[in-house]
Amino acid sequence: MDFKSKQLLIESIAAEVSELHPLLSSVLDKLQNITHVECTHGVFEKGADFVLTRLDPALGTYSHIGVVVKKGKISSDITDISRQIEECTQPRLLQGGKRSERLTEIWVINTSSISINAKEKIFDTYVRQRIEFIDGEQLTRLVDKHAPYFWHAVPSAIGRYLDDVRAQILASDHEAGTVGGIAVDKFYIEPDIQEIDRSSYQKNSARQKKPRLVNLTEEVLTSAVTILEGEMGFGKSKTARVIVQHYCAPDQTKLKNVVPIYASFRKYCESKSTLNAFISRTLGDVESELTGDY
């Protein structure tokens, strides 16, 4: 999909709360130095659809940014946006009412274009307030960088789950791939995996068949249980992580209708639960997003 098609897809978002807000939550959470994203509702909203907490790495201090979200174009009529910006100047309770803070900056995000006239009106009206505009083109670039699953029509909840699993895999790779202080986690040679003939386990077996090489990435989709045998250091855990990472790709999720779960057998045993209960607990809220095809 080219950039123009992606931009049109952003512009076509119709549901602000149910579709655009979850997508923005994923994107904003990954921006540099943003430590917390709070989606505001009801009495805590006060003009801002989101409140971001940003760390100043030089001073070690935190500031708060109000995000005003609009779908479609922003032209000369800025009545609604002005009302929200006015409300953003009021002190507010954050973190579920635990802290009272003032917003030091406001971002106006929309899915299409913002007219020069609208920007000038807002800048002239709020000369003492720092305001940044993020239009549809810039938003498309941010989604492309931080939430590419959106281009594959993967729901935001599933996309965030895949991102979390991918981060877990990368952390495990880095931990397992450090030798003598040198990171070798990206070094991987795909092993030849062969199927063990059932007859080889029998004492009086006939002549064994020629081993069949197995594509384990495809095999796990057709087998209820797959057991990978090998001596210590042969890369069994790494192979499992590579398979999980493969199915974390949004295109594979959409194509194969697969959502991977990465957990050790030890963790499953310690849960002392059924497999279905363990899967439900691991997926959490994501399970409600999965249709019967997954």
State the Cα–Cα distance between residues 232 and 237, nearest whole angstrom: 10
**In the chain, where the domains are located:** 3-146, 161-289
User: Which listed CATH number (3.40.1350.10, 3.40.50.1370, 3.20.20.70, 1.10.10.10) goes with 3-146?
Assistant: 3.40.1350.10
State the Cα–Cα distance between residues 9 and 90, nearest whole angstrom: 35
Q: Is pLDDT larger for residue 197 or for residue 206?
A: 197
Looking at the chain, the whole-number percentage of residues with pLDDT higher than 90 is 60
pLDDT digit string, tens, across residues 217-258 = 999 999 888 888 888 888 888 899 999 999 999 999 888 888
pLDDT band, very low/low/confident/very high, at 195 (cuts 50, 70, 90)? confident
